[in-house]
Amino acid sequence: NAVHVLNGPNLNLLGRREPGIYGTTTLADIETMLAGAARAAGVTLAFRQSNHEGELVSWIHEAGLSGAGVLINAGAYTHTSIALRDAIAGSGAAAVEVHLSNVYARESFRHTSLIAPVCIGVICGLGATGYRLGFDALVAHLGRGTP
Ligand code: DQA
């Protein structure tokens, strides 16, 4: 089994980006944490970040068509991207949406997710821990043999 962790725009700045909201943990820290979890679970991990919507679309296709689970923090594209939603639906990817911050405690434009309806579930507000919880949920889901 494989899990592809896909990070969207501005998440490369994690650690110095609005630390009051996102904390000081970097994306590299999160990757290190998940690499350990993947090793322990015997799962192959791909960990990627892009600021480009189309690249994220292609990565979702790659994961979904290969049967890998997708843990996705789509950043601001969460709230705007029909293309990412269609990529998840169209490739049949088993996906979990994750956000570091509690988007429901923030501006109203962050309260709508266009991708949540095609995801298995959504985790938000738990910081880097949410990535770990989402990863574990995907591993359990893939282990059940469901797509
Ligand atoms: C985010 C929340 C989004 O609203 C925002 O645009 C981000 C990060 C989060 O992880 O909390 O870029 O996805």
Selecting from 2.40.30.330, 3.30.2270.10, 3.40.50.2300, 3.40.50.9100, what CATH number does the domain 2-143 have?
3.40.50.9100
pLDDT for residue 147? 42
| Domain range list for the chain | 2-143
For residues 109 and 103, what is the distance between their CA atoms, to the nearest angstrom? 9
Assess whether pLDDT exceeds 80 at residue 83. yes
Residues 6+ apart with CB under 8 A from 80: 114
- Ligand 1 centroid, distance to 67 Cα (angstroms): 26
For residues 103 and 95, what is the distance between their CA atoms, to the nearest angstrom? 19
Does the annotation count 61 as an active-site position?
Answer: no
Average pLDDT for residues 45-65, to the nearest whole number? 98
Q: Ligand 1 pocket, 72 CB below 6 A?
A: no
pTM of the model: 0.96
> Which atom of ligand 1 has the smallest separation from the CA of 79?
4
Assess whether pLDDT exceeds 70 at residue 43. yes
Q: Ligand 1 pocket, 76 CB below 6 A?
A: yes
Q: Ligand 1 pocket, 101 CB below 6 A?
A: yes
